[in-house]
Amino acid sequence: MKKINVFVDGGEGTTGLKIKDMLQSRDDIHLIIIDEKGRKDIKVRAEKINSADVVYLCLPDDAAKESVSVITNPNTIIIDTSTAHRCNDDWAYGLSELSGAHFEKIKKSKRIAVPGCHATGFTAIIFPLVQAGLLPKDYPLTCHSVTGYSGGGKTMIAQYQAGADDAKLVSPRQYALTQSHKHLPEMVKHSNIDTAPVFNPIVSNFFNGMAVSVPLHTRLMNGTGVAQVFKTLEKHYKDSQLITVTSEHEGMLSANEIVNSCKMRINVSGNDERITVVAIFDNLGKGASGAAMQNMNIALGIDETKGIM
């Protein structure tokens, strides 16, 4: 069996390390290695990139653009986990479950942008409702997103793991208070809405997992009730291997109930006046590394769940 040559550019961060761990568990992958000195040399990186069938970019935006600029191999598939190309129409947006067109674009593309974690949950909720005509494009949306601290990368992980006695780290912490979070542009573009939601991201003292919550008033949705919202989302994702839709109205929902997985659960609850829709998934799974692997599988024409379940 001919193995797939894969290079992870920037593989020392949280997302890159997770991707490499997932790749090393597969018998169909040959992982191209680069040493510490080579990681800082664009000429060495360019050689590795152009020798690969698939390249994961796990880099800051400017570095990701630099890596793209040195590509000369027309067959190399680039999967970018940064923010750099998520709103670029020349790139496939890597949330395949949104529609058949999204899946086909990923399948045929050599350039795939992995969605941001918060954007993944928000867009998975909002896109189907807008597409079905239940949610007006100018609806005044609000989004609350609770995430584990691993989403903050190495610095935040070290801060939490070393700061057990720091009172500020015990309780959840809101951030991006200026309403300028880097995921907002893709949330607007790929949800097909007119304006950005009021966004309230919250980091909490657990490692991975997240819950993205969107509250809705039915009087602003032409009287659409909770049952219709549930049925619309359930129908939209009925063929998905990774996304399920539930309707639990009792008990509690936990942001870390789905971890180490690329699955997502969308829960619809409330009544015919006020509805809460919550997407629960792993910020390192469906929200990052797992989604990157899923997109590679689709682009290569193999089972999209291979190596991520």
Q: Which sequence positions are flagged as catalytic?
A: 117
> How many residues are listed for the chain in this entry?
309
First to last CA, the chain: 22
Where does residue 119 fall: left (phi above 0), alpha (psi -120 to 50 degrees), or beta otherwise? alpha
* Alpha-carbon separation of residue 117 from 134, 155, 165, 211, 280 (angstroms): 24, 18, 28, 10, 11
Distance separating alpha carbons of residues 46 and 65, to the nearest angstrom = 12
Name the DSSP letter for residue 2.
Answer: P
Sequence-ordered list of residues with C-beta below 8 angstroms from that of 113, at least 6 positions apart, any chain:
80, 84, 85, 86, 88, 91, 92, 93, 94
Q: β-pairing, 4-9 with 77-80?
A: unpaired
The single-letter code of the amino acid at 239 is D
